[in-house]
Amino acid sequence: MTSPVKPHLLLVDDTPENIDLLVEMLGPDYELSVATDGASALEATEDQIPDLILLDIMMPGMDGYETLKHLKENLEWAAIPVIFLTAKNQNEDLLLGFQLGAVDFITKPFNLAELQARIRTHIDLALAMRVIEKQKIELEAVNGQLAVANNEQKELLHVLCHDLVNPLGSINSFAKLMQTDPDTVAMGLELIEGSSQQGLDIIDLIRRMRAMEEYEVELTSWKVAEVIENSLKQLKLKLEAKKQEVKLSLEPGLEVLAEPSSLVHSVLNNLLTNAIKFSYPQQTIEVRGVKKGEQVRLEIEDHGIGIPPTLLANLFQINKKTSRLGTGKEEGTGFGMPLVEKFMRLYGGEIEVESTSIEENQDHHGTVMRLIFQAG
Ligand SMILES: Nc1ncnc2c1ncn2[C@@H]1O[C@H](COP(=O)(O)OP(=O)(O)OP(=O)(O)O)[C@@H](O)[C@H]1O
Ligand SMILES: [Mg+2]
C-alpha cells in the first residue's frame, strides 16, 4: 500500500548534525519538515499533520516523552505514528516510550536500510488503519440499514399474524356453527365469504409491501386527470351512498412520475376513500392540482371529522393503531396511510397532512392531504 504523493515526515532532533544526516538519507523519498525542540514540533504539526514523526528523546525544554504526551492528547494527532530516536538502547526508555504510545524505536547511529524499512512499515500500517476505520464506518452504516430492513420485515410479520387472527377465527367459528345448526348455513356462508375476502386483502397488502421493498419500480409519466377519473369511477357507489360530491380543480396538462397501479389502487383510492369515510353525508370533497417548478402538488381536502394530533403523529406507523369507524360506521384496517407514504417515497415524492379535528374546532374542521410528486 503506497500513497501516490510522497509521505510527509516531521524530523525532531536538537542536534543539527543528526538533522542534516536524516535529511540527506530521507530527502529523496519523503517530503520533510524539521523541528529542533518539542514546542516547535507541536507548532509544525499544527501547521501540517505529518504522516509520521521521528522524535528525539533527549532535548532541552520539552523532551520527547512530553512532546509525545501532547501529541496523544490531541484527537486529530493521536493516530500519527511516532518513532523515537534514541542514542542508548536502555530498557526503561523503551518501556516508557511504548507506554506513552510510540510505535517503534530507532537507535543512533542510523542505518539507512533499517531507517527506511521501519518508516515504511509504520506509514503503511497507519494507512491500513485509516482504511479499516473507513470500512468500519461504512459497515456500521450498512448494519444500520439492515436493522431497518429487519424491522420492516418484523412489522409485516406482525401485521400478518395479528390481523389474520380475526378473519380466520370467524371462519372457524361459523364453520362449526353451521355443522351443528343447519339454519345458520345461509348466513354463515355469507359471513365466511366476507371473512375470507378480508384475509385475502391482508395477504395482498403484505405482498405489495414486500414487493415494494424488494424491487425497483419503474416510474413513468401519468396524466393526473386520468388517474383521478379512474379512481373516482371505482368510488362512485361510495360517493352516492353518502350523497357526497367531488369538486375537481386541476391545472390543464398536469403529469406526475409514478407507478400507475399503486397510484390508483393504493394512493388515490385510499385518500379519497378516507375523505368519503370521514366526511359527513352531502359534504363536498375538493381535489386541487397545481404545478410548482419541477413538482406537482395534488391536494385532497375534506371537511369531515379531522384527525386529532395524537393520531396524526402515528398516521404513517404501521404498528400503531389509528383506525376509527367512518361517519357511516365504515370499517378499515389502518394500513392505508403507511402504504400511501411508502409509495410516495418510492415515487421520489412525499405526503404532507394538515388536519383540524372536530374536537379541536367545531366550526372549521377537516383534512388536507397534500401529495408532492416529481412532475412527469
Ligand atoms: N381524511 C381523514 N379524515 C379523518 N381521519 C382520517 C382521514 N384519513 C385518515 N384518517 C384517520 O387515520 C386512520 C388511518 O387511515 P388509513 O387509511 O391508514 O386506515 P383506514 O382508513 O382506517 O383503513 P383502510 O385504509 O385499510 O380502509 C383512519 O382510520 C382515521 O382514523
Ligand atoms: Mg384508509
Buried b (16+ CB within 10 A) or exposed e, 19-38: bebbeeebeeebebbbbbbb
For 130-182, how does the pLDDT look when each residue is reduced to its tens digit (9 = 90+)? Answer: 899 999 999 999 999 998 888 877 777 766 776 677 788 889 988 998 999 98
For 309-320, how does the pLDDT look when each residue is reduced to its tens digit (9 = 90+)? Answer: 999 999 998 778
Ligand (nearest to CA of 327):
1
Which of 305, 337, 355, 358 to mutate for ligand 1's pocket (most ligand atoms within 8 Å of CB)? 337
In the three-class reduction of DSSP (H, G, I as helix; E, B as strand; rest coil), residue 204 is classed as helix
Q: Is the dihedral of CA 263, 268, 274, 276 positive or negative?
A: negative
Ligand (nearest to CA of 333):
1
Which alpha helices (H) appear in the chain, and where do they start and end?
Answer: 16-26, 38-47, 64-73, 91-100, 112-180, 185-214, 224-234, 236-241, 260-262, 269-277, 309-313, 336-346
Pocket of ligand 1 (CB under 6 A): 270, 274-275, 278, 302, 304-307, 311, 315, 322-324, 332-337, 367
In angstroms, the CA 304 to CA 148 distance is 35
pLDDT value, residue 91: 66
Residue 1 CA to ligand 1 centre (angstroms)? 59
- Residue with CA nearest ligand 1 atom 24: 332
- Residue with CA nearest ligand 1 atom 27: 332
> Model-level pTM?
0.58
**Cell 521521528 sits at which residue?**
54
DSSP assignment string, 237-253: HHHHHTT-EEEEEE-TT
Low-confidence ranges of the chain (pLDDT < 70): 1-4, 88-91, 158-159, 162-163, 214-216
* Mean pLDDT for the chain overall: 90
- Residue with CA nearest ligand 1 atom 1: 275
pLDDT value, residue 134: 93
- Residue with CA nearest ligand 1 atom 26: 333
Domains plus CATH for the chain? 8-110 (3.40.50.2300), 148-214 (1.10.287.130), 220-374 (3.30.565.10)
Rounded to 5 degrees, φ, ψ at 221 are: -80, 135
Start-to-end C-alpha separation, the chain: 48
Residue 256 CA to ligand 1 centre (angstroms)? 24
In angstroms, the CA 110 to CA 30 distance is 17
Residue 170 CA to ligand 2 centre (angstroms)? 23
